[in-house]
Amino acid sequence: MNFYFIIILLIILTINSSEENNPCLNNLNKFYNKSSICLFIDEENNHLWCSGYYGHWKNNSTSIKSLTICNWPELSLNPEELVSNFPNIKNLIIANSNLTNFSSTFSPAKYLEKLQISETHLEIFPKDAFKSLTRLRILDLRNNSLAKIDPNELNEMMMLHHIYLAGNPWKCNDKSMTWILNMTSGSLSRRIVDRDKLHCSIPFEGRPLVSVIEIIMQLEEECKLTICECELVYVVGRIGRQTTKQLMAFSSVNCSHRNLTEMPKFIPTNVTTLRLDGNKISDLTPLVTNQVYRQVLDLYLDNNVIESINQLESSYWLENFRVFSLRGNKLTDLPTYALENVLLQSGNAVSIYLGDNPWTCDCLFTPGFQDLLISYTSLVKDIHDVKCHTGHIDVLNKPIRDLTRTQICITNDGEYFIKPIDMLNIFLASMIILILGKVIYDYWSFKKTGKLPWLVAKMP
């Protein structure tokens, strides 16, 4: 190794050593990123910089106070062995590595004050990995692959007041990180310097951890007031500069198969999807009267006993829904005109399900209903299951969309459908026959007995 070369490197490094966050992304790394080598980069503080294996370093390692390890080539690293090589170490940096786990704890490092593990693939560390580091003041775990941390691992470390955790794919959709909301004095969460910079991984990719956990905990509290299952489905907000206020939550509540006879009186706030399948609900009035349903966009009411949705006419809910599923109910007709109006004006509606209901097929309701089905074929997702249940024998069990007008009207009229006007005609005809009969009887009676009919006799 050329002596002058190292001197030049040292100069370059002093310039770059302010780049404290990325201890490996410096010029030294560019030269040695493929090799195993150790160099002093700061003689005064006995700072040793290693790329790859440190093992061959056999110089006076007890004097070394600071150690940086870059490009560690293995998936695992044994801290016990490392520290036994450098027993007096105060400042340890492990960075730029494919490391995913440690194979032991850091227990022998009794002088360690600052530990930084950055830009690695660290996903997990053994139980009590850091617990015996009684002097540790700074723990920097930024830019790794950690999904969760057990707070008990770090809680009792009294000297540890600066913890950095940003740049990890935190798991937000279970309870493993709820401790982050505990801000009582002395809590772990208070010691996390970059608490507001923590972000979630899939499915809430990039959303701020603290806000998402807050939303989830609130949903859980509210869910306890129901008999349903609740789930946060989606959180929107601008990536980068989100604040709690900019986040919008979309939750889903599943109250299916709960033997409900009416719609729940309470559902958590910000619920957009509500499943009420397989209950015994007949009345949809709460959709109009109960404010909690205003934000429900997707409503599933399959396999209930709903006979009518007439109450919903011109309601806020009907004008704003996105999915409305009414399969397997007891609907015989619909407020066709009102529904058509809504679909014409609202840009929200995406899906309607109307199949497996006992639809009436007659000349009064069906033509309008069929027009609606045909105009909104793409909305009525189960249009082939919308079939006649009552009506003329020719149309029974046929999809309403495919019927001809003749099938719907003419045959029906001719067969057994008696309109009010027909009843009136029959009534009038029988009156005429009755009066004629009376006249004939009166004539016959006059001829025979000479008596005038009672009415004529009374006339003046």
Ligand X SMILES: *[C@@H]1O[C@H](CO)[C@@H](O)[C@H](O)[C@H]1NC(C)=O
- Which residues in the 82-141 window bind ligand X by CB under 6 A? 97-98, 101, 103, 118-119, 124, 126
Instruction: Give residue 132's identity as a one-letter amino acid code.
Output: S
| Least distance between ligand X and beta carbon 190 (Å) | 9
| Least distance between ligand X and beta carbon 218 (Å) | 8
Asked if residue 188 lies in contact with residue 155, where contact means CB atoms within 8 angstroms, the answer is: yes
| Least distance between ligand X and beta carbon 131 (Å) | 14
b/e code 370-400 from CB counts within 10 Å (16+ = b): bebbeebeebbbebeebbbbebbeebeeebb
| Least distance between ligand X and beta carbon 311 (Å) | 23
- Which residues in the 244-273 window bind ligand X by CB under 6 A? 247-249, 254, 256-259, 269-270
b/e code 76-115 from CB counts within 10 Å (16+ = b): ebebeebbeebeebbbbbbbbbebbebebbbebbebbbbb
Asked if residue 89 lies in contact with residue 111, where contact means CB atoms within 8 angstroms, the answer is: yes
Residue 407 binding ligand X, by CB under 6 A: no
| Least distance between ligand X and beta carbon 26 (Å) | 11
Asked if residue 237 lies in contact with residue 254, where contact means CB atoms within 8 angstroms, the answer is: no
Residue 207 binding ligand X, by CB under 6 A: no
Residue 295 binding ligand X, by CB under 6 A: yes
Residue 177 binding ligand X, by CB under 6 A: no
Residue 186 binding ligand X, by CB under 6 A: yes
**Nearer to ligand X among residue 254 and residue 320 (C-beta):** 254
CA angle 138, 142, 145 (to 5 degrees): 130
Please state the separation of Cα 6 from the chain's center in Å. 56
**What whole-number distance in Å separates Cα of residue 375 and Cα of residue 380?**
10
Residue 142 binding ligand X, by CB under 6 A: yes
Residue 367 binding ligand X, by CB under 6 A: no
| Least distance between ligand X and beta carbon 7 (Å) | 13
Q: Which residues contact 362 (CB under 8 A, 6 or more apart)?
A: 391, 408, 412, 417
- Which residues in the 64-83 window bind ligand X by CB under 6 A? 71, 73
Asked if residue 56 lies in contact with residue 80, where contact means CB atoms within 8 angstroms, the answer is: no
**Nearer to ligand X among residue 2 and residue 449 (C-beta):** 2
**What whole-number distance in Å separates Cα of residue 393 and Cα of residue 403?**
13
Residue 355 binding ligand X, by CB under 6 A: no
- Which residues in the 11-50 window bind ligand X by CB under 6 A? 21-22, 30, 33
| Least distance between ligand X and beta carbon 90 (Å) | 13
| Least distance between ligand X and beta carbon 314 (Å) | 22
Residue 59 binding ligand X, by CB under 6 A: yes
Nearest residue to ligand X, by Cβ distance, number only: 63
**What whole-number distance in Å separates Cα of residue 296 and Cα of residue 271?**
6
Q: Which residues contact 271 (CB under 8 A, 6 or more apart)?
A: 230, 251, 252, 253, 292, 295, 296
Strand partners, 133: none
From the list 155, 173, 320, 341, which residue makes contact with ligand X (rule: CB under 6 A)? Answer: 155
Tell me which residues touch ligand X (CB under 6 A): 21-22, 30, 33, 59-60, 62-63, 71, 73, 97-98, 101, 103, 118-119, 124, 126, 142-143, 155, 167, 182, 184, 186-187, 215, 247-249, 254, 256-259, 269-270, 275, 295
